[in-house]
Amino acid sequence: MGSIRVRIALATAGAVTAVLVAGCGQAPGSAPEAPESSSAATRVVTDVTGAQVTVPATITRIADAWPAHNEVVQMLGAGDAITATVLIEKTAPWLYVVDPALREAQTVFTNSTANTERLAQARPDVLFTDKSTQIAAKTTELGIPTVQLGFQNYPDLKKMVSTTADVLGPAAQQQAVAYNAYLDDTLGQVRGRTASLPADRRPSVLHVYSLNPLVVDGTGSIIDEWITAAGGRNAAQVTGNVRPVSAEQVAQWNPDVVILASSAFVAADTGAQTLDKLRADPFWSQLPAVRDNRAVINPTGGWHWDRYGIESALQLRWAGKTLHPELFGDVDMLAETRSFYDRFLHHPLTEAEARTMLAAQDPQ
């Protein structure tokens, strides 16, 4: 099923009542009725910066400058309202399968800039952007209501989803409540199974963002959160995500498990081909994790499961099953992935599609 555009259930009110003329039932000397306030045609939301943003009550055209957030809009039922985006199909092919209407959206943003002329032509009712970029400052002159968002942990992920839903209206708010409950339930189940694990049963995990240059994800990140929740320890003793490190540091950390993000794939190689090259590499092949087949590829869907997106809810179960198959033997990731996409992204995956996604492969 394609994405379902949000149609806000609130009635739009304008200036509705002209003053009744004499002889049409108004009592002599009575004051004319005040026109109904036009404020019902807008709503005010508070974004992550604390700014109060006035947006139209009915949103039919959306600009989204945050790559991971386009999938949030799709989840909340407004994917086909995106008229301006930061994405191209090559960077998020699964999302274009889920939301084919994205092919009609103009790509007017990069991670740091905006083509303001093309953005104006797209005529969005609202612009979503990551607060860490300078997009908002570059587009102020256009007068587009701009909602800045961001998150670094699971509570703030839920808040971001809720704020987006507040912009889009009641139908989106119901879906946001459902997703946030699912995330809470997933966190509770995964943490519940791993909470009693002693330190010596918690494998050290190195999450590799890039192989060349060598870049990893450290503590104080959502990557660190899901590693810990799934019963592991972050091997990378650096703070923050996307941190350059040396091979010597990795050798010193000597991780028990290596997880490769899809961004770590070598050139146009698949994940399997990248793993083969890792096993043949003079440095990586000497690490016990690689030598003993404890190097794995992280799934990627509409957005990267392992990074800052809503599919982190799937990542938690996948990571738990990867690190502790004995504790998560009943978790069927094929079924879980298909259920998630059907329920939250309005797209029923086939079993073959789910298998392809779990292997971090592009759609066939």
Domain ranges of the chain: 38-180, 197-358
> Splitting the chain (364 residues) into consecutive groups of 10 residues, what average pLDDT does each group show?
39 32 37 42 96 97 97 98 97 96 96 93 97 90 96 96 98 98 98 97 97 95 97 97 96 98 88 93 96 96 94 98 98 98 97 95 92
CATH classification code of 197-358? 3.40.50.1980
pTM score, whole prediction:
0.87
Q: Residue 237: which residues within 8 A CB-CB, separation 6 or more?
A: 218, 219, 249, 253
Q: What is the pLDDT of residue 51?
A: 96
Q: How far is it, in rounded angstroms, from Cα 133 to Cα 313?
A: 25
Q: How far is CA 256 from CA 13, 248, 251, 272, in A?
A: 61, 16, 11, 19
Q: Residue 160: which residues within 8 A CB-CB, separation 6 or more?
A: 48, 72, 149, 150, 151
CATH classification code of 38-180? 3.40.50.1980
Q: Of the candidates 264, 261, 352, which has an alpha carbon nearest to the alpha carbon of residue 315? A: 261
Q: Of the candidates 100, 104, 98, which has an alpha carbon nearest to the alpha carbon of residue 85? A: 104
Q: Of the candidates 75, 76, 44, which has an alpha carbon nearest to the alpha carbon of residue 168? A: 76
Residue linked to tokens 């490190």: 245
Q: What is the pLDDT of residue 40?
A: 62
